[in-house]
A and B are shown apart, each in its own frame.
Chain A
Amino acid sequence: MQKLFKKILILLVICFLLDRGIGYLIDTGARQYAYDNRPGQILEGEMEFELLILGSSRAAYGYRASLIGDSLGMPAYNLGFAGSHIEFHRDVLKMYLDHNKKPKIIVLNIDEPFHFMEKEGYTYRTDFFMPFMADSFVRKCVVANSDKNGLLCEISSSYRQNENFFNALKFLLGGKEIADDNSLLRPDGSTSFGVAAIKPLEFKERSVVHNVENEEETRVQAFAEVMEICSSNSIQVVCVLPPEYRKVVPGFKDRLIELLPQGVSLLDCSSQIVDKSCFFDNGHLNDKGSLIFSKKLSGELKGLIVD
């Protein structure tokens, strides 16, 4: 039995050393492969923006941070991530505040009517965080929102990095990830979404009414947490309902107002743009639309900013 234990011990030591080495290599490769390095930039702690835009694809595609920032005279950055929901936005904000100078204003995009609900394609985007698993906060977030095992993540760095394995290999074989035409990042963090709609757009009527019972408790709680974090850090929050080419869902705005703490402004821009050539689809602005909307939004924000 002693012989077996001795050999197992030697194997474990070799595994430990190899594990660290493989984990390090994957970590390096995956970070360099990732086209969207915004979480990496956040972790580096060199972001000094006074205005941050948070939200999902509607934030990523619809808000030109540089244009808004220039107009307001404050450096701005877009931290919108396609397909992400409020729990993810909360963690992006926490991560930002942990590593960077706190901003003055946060523009929080509200996804009408799904902001507090479960919806397909609207998830906690662990994939954006994956290349940065070496960071303990990122790790905690990924473990909490995926089926990755927390204990194994702490024990083995190869296991922790295993989702990045093929990306690291791709980097070795072919260099950095190439973004497709609909997800090109601009220097201000916003994303380009092409110039026209793919299909001819029709204005969408919606007959559903917002139902509080369909809300997810965790989403409502995450929203409250975002408000609480901003309040405790004296960050001004402006919630924005972005333009849409469809009828708004009755009851959602009232519910949002109900959840907003005092002092938080709400800008309802949902019917601000009616020209369908400004939309990529019924819910997303294209490049032309984002330019128009960002200009309009800058004007409205000017009147809301508290010195």
Chain B
Amino acid sequence: MSFNSVQFLFFFPVVAILYFILNHKYRWLLMLVASYTFYMYWNPLYAFLILGSTVVDYFSAIKLFGEKNDSKRKRWLYLSLFVNLGLLFLFKYLGFFQEICQDGAAIFGLNYDLPIVQFLLPVGISFYTFQTLSYTIDVYDGAVKPETHFGRFALYVCFFPQLVAGPIERAVNLLPQFRERIKFDYERIVSGLFLMGFGLFKKVVIADTCGSMVKYYYSHMDELYGVGPGIMSVTFVFQVYFDFSAYSDIAIGAALVLGFTLMDNFKSALHARSLPTLWQRWHISLTSWFRDYMFKRLAKNTRNRHILFFYLFLIFFVSGVWHGASWTFVLWGTMHGVIVVFYKYTQKWRKKISKKKWYAGNERVIAYVETVITFLIFGIVGVLFSSNSVAEASYIWKSMATDFLQSVKVVLYNTESKRMAFLYLGKSSLEFVFLIVALVAVLTIERYQLLKGSFRAVVRRQKPFIRWSLYLIIIFSVVLYSVQLQQPFIYFQF
């Protein structure tokens, strides 16, 4: 079931009402049933994978916690790692791995005859695998005690608001909340509902509109050059950002309605002045996962900055592979790794520049320029994310540089009525203007949140007329933009 589906429109209120009616003792059961129902809506069989991971991690954690002998404790940890990563490899990476083997064999003139195995990717496998792995590792490290209540642990693995696309929660934050006696809190529920509505607005009004523009580009890519692919790469950044941050908003909002606090997953990432900062604010639950469970472990025994930067690069490489089993994602992660490491190497030099007089005097302008440059770098590298192959991505990069001035003329003079194709990517001028207005509004809100704090709190302080007008604008924008039902969230594929 997807957050933007009609089914969820009925599912969530029913679950929420039952949740508050029910005695605290049985709430975990309701949430567990609701979570499995939510997941099984896609493919009931794949719920067994989650159940398998749950059983293995539940027992592994209890066993390793009770074990004194470190090598035996490690054995339980490895069992958990093997099962979880094994399932992830089997369902997500086996086909890609086989393709690599096939290509490698061909280079050496060998015959690789095994059929390529491609399973249907279980929705959210990368997310819940990382979540449950963090639990076993935390128990191994002694950061959390194992959960002995199987039902509550199973709920931790499959908690429906964040099951399929995060935030990837930590046991230390989420598990204790399942024990708390949550009371009905009007303010909290309104705040959660507002966040869900705001998320839906971002998804339906912005991300889906951008999505249809990106789709338009890909179906007309042979005719569009210069400005066209440039606009597409920018539009794709907006699409993927608002799609994913919308999912996180809805997840956090839904959990808040039910009384749970999930971690923030995005913090105005598009306002970042550098790529490393952008990555600190984008998909925070994943980047912090890599930081805590990979980088810190690797970097534990070294102070050599070249080695540290290599580890940093490695994290981005793995993050690319985490996103998808294809060369486009491998290269995407690699490029981000290289750029972030470049930033790290030039940090001192940039700090020196920032102390110069002319820099300090123009800091505001420079901040905007840096933000735009960061955004453009992210967009240009992001072409790999939206393309089906590296060859397709390089074609798009090439076509960005082809006849650029000519394409600017086409846009300015609307030659052969092609402005619609080059600039609006298939939308009408009116739809394009509406998109810009929505983008500016949401980015301004994000900027406000970054500098001054929660926008929800600001809304709560407004007079009822303004507050309700905002609610109605959100509701009717979502209704009017829901032209195509249920456009899938991009991160479902991961």
A residues engaging B (CB < 8 A)?
1, 3-4, 11, 14-15, 18-19, 22, 147-149, 151-152, 156, 158-159, 162-163, 165-166, 169-170, 173
Contact = CB atoms under 8 A, between A and B. Distances in A.
Contacts of B472: 14-15, 18
Nearest to B428: A166
Nearest to A14: B472
A176 to B, nearest CB: 15
B485 A166 contact: no
Contact of B480 (A4, A147, A151, A165): A165
A85 B100 CA distance: 44
Interface residues on B, range: 20 to 34
A151 B6 contact: yes
The listed residue with most A CB atoms (<10 A of its CB), out of B475, B479, B481, B482, is B479
Contacts of B486: 147
B462 interface: no
A124 to B, nearest CB: 15
The listed residue with most A CB atoms (<10 A of its CB), out of B431, B434, B471, B482, is B482
Interface string B457-484: 0000000000010011001100111111
A149 B476 contact: no
B20 interface: yes
Given A4-B186, A22-B480, 18 more contacts: A1-B184, A11-B471, A15-B472, A18-B472, A18-B476, A148-B485, A152-B6, A158-B476, A158-B479, A159-B479, A159-B480, A159-B482, A162-B481, A165-B480, A166-B430, A166-B431, A169-B430, A170-B428
A165 B476 CA distance: 11
A300 B235 CA distance: 56
A291 to B, nearest CB: 29
B223 to A, nearest CB: 16
Contacts of A1: 20, 184
B480 A158 contact: yes
B189 interface: yes
Contacts of A151: 6
A35 to B, nearest CB: 15
A269 B484 CA distance: 41
Contacts of B484: 147
B479 A170 contact: no
Contacts of B480: 22, 158-159, 162, 165
A149 B482 CA distance: 10
Contact of A149 (B6, B20, B186, B475): B6
A19 B186 CA distance: 26
A10 to B, nearest CB: 9
A165 B472 CA distance: 17
A22 B481 CA distance: 13
Interface of B is mostly: helix
Contacts of A11: 468, 471
B18 to A, nearest CB: 13
A162 B482 contact: yes
Contacts of A18: 472, 476
Contacts of B471: 11
Contacts of A148: 485
A180 to B, nearest CB: 9
B483 A163 contact: yes
Contacts of A166: 428, 430-431, 434
Contacts of B476: 18-19, 22, 158
Given A11-B468, A152-B6, A173-B430, A3 B483 contact: no
Nearest first, the 8 closest Cβ-Cβ pairs linking A and B are: A162-B480, A165-B480, A158-B479, A147-B485, A159-B479, A163-B483, A149-B6, A1-B184
B414 to A, nearest CB: 14
A169 B433 CA distance: 12
A170 B468 CA distance: 28
Interface in B148-204: 184, 186, 189-190
The listed residue with most B CB atoms (<10 A of its CB), out of A166, A170, A173, is A166
B388 to A, nearest CB: 19
Given A4-B189, A14-B472, A147-B485, A162 B479 contact: yes
A3 B184 CA distance: 11
A163 B6 CA distance: 18
Nearest to A180: B417
A11 B480 CA distance: 18
25 contacts: A1-B20, A3-B186, A4-B189, A14-B472, A15-B475, A18-B472, A22-B480, A147-B484, A147-B485, A147-B486, A148-B485, A149-B6, A158-B476, A158-B480, A159-B479, A162-B480, A162-B483, A163-B483, A166-B428, A166-B430, A166-B431, A166-B434, A169-B430, A170-B430, A173-B430
A162 to B, nearest CB: 5
A28 B162 CA distance: 42
A162 B485 CA distance: 12
Contacts of A152: 6
Interface string B428-455: 1011001000000000000000000000
Contacts of B482: 159, 162
A56 B471 CA distance: 44
Contacts of B189: 4
Contacts of B479: 19, 156, 158-159, 162
A203 B430 CA distance: 42
A66 B480 CA distance: 40
Contacts of B431: 166
